[in-house]
Structure 1
Amino acid sequence: MMDTRMKCIAIDDEPIALSVITQFCNRLGNIGLAVYSDPQVGLEAVLKERPDIVFLDIEMNDINGLSIAKLIGDKTAFIFTTAYLQYALDGFDLDAVDFLHKPFAYDRFRQAMEKASRRVKYMKSGEARKVIIVKQEYANVSVPVSDIMYVEAMENYSKIFKIDGTCIISHSNLKGIMDILPLDSFVRIHRSYIAPVNKIISFNKQSIRLSSGKTLPVGKQFADNLSNIMNKISNQ
């Protein structure tokens, strides 16, 4: 049984698949489920209702489930349900909670829902702003924002340098990392760098110095914004 009632939407152009998901949700209990066989109508419902969890088929006639997942954003947890294993890595890259390979059994479905429930509870809690979840190789890694010394771009990846000297290489690019960091705590200083404002001990239009002693360059297009943010903090 789920601890709290979850609002869920299932999108699949196969009625049998929707029937299975409905039966399994009924067995779990405490779930409000709406199902859609028309992907476009289902997407509209997701964007309007903002459910906790979305079940997504991938190969559908009118729209690809991966495209829907990209439109949903990071405020909703989603689980892919598909017969095509080749999409598993794509689902991982989109930060899916789980990937259910059809036909899947109830126990496997229950495991995915337990993971999704934990994700939803985390997103709704105040802890969501205290850590970020990034993908490193084939695992999701939790990084406390207070541990981040700076972030550096590395082609389509990012290197997250921590205060203990270790480094995490994330599958996300620098923009993706900036999007999940607390906006009031981090600043983009260069096309290749992000820094936490509380670890900047000195700055000018060319560079910053961090509390670790590390010096990072400041890009021309970022200098004014950096100055505004740091001056605002100093006047508080």
Structure 2
Amino acid sequence: MIRCIAVDDEAYATKIIADYIQKIPNLELVGTTTSPIEAINWVQEGRVDLVFLDIQMPELTGIQFMKICGSRCKVILTTAYPEYALEGYEHDVIDYLLKPIPFDRFLKAVHKAQAVLQQPTIQASSASHDNPPLATATTGAGHPAQASPYMFIKGESKNKFIKIDYDDILYIEGLKNYVSVYMQGQRLVTYLTLKNMEEQLPQPPFYRIHKSYIVSIDKIRMVDGNTVYIADKVLPIGESFRENFLKLIREQD
């Protein structure tokens, strides 16, 4: 786990970062604070790996914070002031996020931090994060070989792959270049487009119902109009997917 803190003189800003941190596997929220002095104490006590740090703070600026802490932790700057970017990178920051920070941009910065903080001692041959994660063996048509009831998705570090049983998947949500895989009581995030994921999943039981969602037919509790109910989630059926999906549902009768 990467131990994280959020430091900003505005409490609502630390709450946003805290919420983002708690959505990502392998990040642990150690705490939030509006006091950079308190944050420095946490770093010096060895409690912190990664700091999400504002720059303009009355008690101590983010630049001064980094000068004091040195190499004891890694930093992602979170600020409304783009003019500090160059000075930030001179202090070896992981990334520079401009407020308001969208979650997908935050996730990209986190992946950079994970690549730095979780590097293996012996470097393997480099692999781009833009490449799709490994999945199960596929047939010539690009669909998964039916013999494998599971797939592997890329984890948060360079050579980490997580095995997922198809039967455990409730649904999958896509957003730009990453997807969230939802299982009972668990959510995994990986760099992959929803289209790539769709090509790797067996059909059935998986079916795309929306530009942003793939569901497991086996896990559906109810279909009501333009809505699908899975566990405690309510998902929309997209206009362009509705006819074929409802036809599939009727064929299950």
TM-score by length of 2: 0.46
The structure richer in helix per residue is: 1
TM-score by length of 1: 0.49
